[in-house]
Amino acid sequence: MSNRFLGYAILVLLCTLGFSQIVYVVYEQERAVLLKFGRLVDGDIQPGLHFKVPFMHDVRRFDARILTVDAPPESILTAEKKALDVDSFIKW
């Protein structure tokens, strides 16, 4: 009886591992591209549940939220030799 249970447990484990290699999820705050052997196949994958071929397809995810980088203020000299403080930030 325990050998049969062990066999079923191994089968369930292998099915779970196989399923995790086939299925992927793209969330709404992400953008994703599908690559086949490193070449672009689909450049705009919509959010949701998708399937892929293991070891042939690769999914790259990118954060699609607005990101902000706040640079520290810098002091520069103008042509008239006056100090000018520049504070900048980037949004993308």
pLDDT of residue 59: 93
Selection from 21, 86, 31, 40 nearest residue 62 by Cα: 31
- Listed in sequence order, the residues at least 6 apart from 83 whose beta carbon sits closer than 8 Å to its beta carbon are 75, 76, 77
Q: Is the pTM of this model over 0.75?
A: no
> What pLDDT, in 10s, does the model give residues 33-55?
999 998 999 888 999 999 998 88
pLDDT at 1: 56
What is the overall mean pLDDT for the chain? 87
